[in-house]
Amino acid sequence: EDQVTQSPEALRLQEGESSSLNCSYTVSGLRGLFWYRQDPGKGPEFLFTLYSAGEEKEKERLKATLTKKESFLHITAPKPEDSATYLCAVQAPRGNTPLVFGKGTRLSVIA
Amino acid sequence: DAGVTQSPTHLIKTRGQQVTLRCSPKSGHDTVSWYQQALGQGPQFIFQYYEEEERQRGNFPDRFSGHQFPNYSSELNVNALLLGDSALYLCASSLGLGGVNEQFFGPGTRLTVL
């Protein structure tokens, strides 16, 4: 069974304090790995899709990287508005497969 | 560009009742997936609809059923509601089947079962 584990469960940062969130997966092969941001009571907002090991994508203060068994979401000089839950999801390569999500990392950025 | 819309925003039901949730996909998308998200958990896949047929189903009982209409909008029906069905129900839309399943989510419907 495909598994996605995100760590830490919660992270508290001071404004400007850079850090990384981890997403490890056990799916055999990978069609795509996805990062989403979710604000409380709202639907997930799409951030990035990564396809192969070594790939990197950036958006404002966020950079996502991918290895063969994990992905990192690096947050550089975060601001309070970056506070949210960050979700990672994977899609296996076989046929038409749904996304499998991790439980997310709750990020709080304190001014 | 219209994003994914869902209705209603909130819903309160009692045990044993039935509920219908609605979703309109993002403009240009033809595939709709439904997810259940309990508090503090990641979204759990319920099922996916394409060309008005259920194409994939997660580990949910038959009390959960759905439908897709010719205009690609979709409904999620839950019968004989249980307290454990209380959750945020998310609809996600994408384009086609196979390939990379890049999905865009709606704001969700918060269902509370008393």
CB pairs under 8 A between A and B: 68
Tell me the average pLDDT of chain A: 93
The three-point CA angle A2-B101-B54 to 5° equals 85
> CB distance from B103 to chain A under 8 Å?
yes
Whether B2 has a pLDDT exceeding 80, the answer reads no
> How many Å lie between the alpha carbon of A44 and the closest alpha carbon of chain B?
6
d(CA A98, CA B17) in angstroms, rounded, equals 29
Whether B81 has a pLDDT exceeding 70, the answer reads yes
How far CA A110 is from CA of A22, A81, A106, B56, in Å, comes to 21, 10, 13, 42
Cβ neighbors of B6 (< 8 A, separation 6 or more) are A43, B21, B22, B23, B24, B89, B90, B91, B106, B107, B108, B109
Cross-chain Cβ contact B58/A104 below 8 Å: no
Determine the pLDDT at residue A31.
86
Cβ neighbors of B31 (< 8 A, separation 6 or more) are B25, B48, B49, B50, B72, B93, B94, B95, B96, B97
Q: What is the CA radius of gyration of chain A?
A: 14
Instruction: Using the CB atoms, write b or e for A42-76: b if 16+ within 10 Å.
Output: bbbeebbbbeeeeeeeeeeebbbbbeeebbbbebe
Residue type, A93: P
Residues B28-51 have a mean pLDDT of 95
Q: Give residue A95's pLDDT band: very low, low, confident or very high (50, 70, 90).
A: low
Instruction: Enter the tokens of residue B54.
Output: 């259920």
Whether B53 has a pLDDT exceeding 90, the answer reads yes
> CB distance from A78 to chain B under 8 Å?
no
Residues A55-76 have a mean pLDDT of 96
Determine the pLDDT at residue A87.
98
A42-65 tens-digit pLDDT: 999 999 999 999 999 999 999 999
Residues B22-41 have a mean pLDDT of 95
Tell me the average pLDDT of chain B: 95
Q: Give residue A103's pLDDT band: very low, low, confident or very high (50, 70, 90).
A: very high
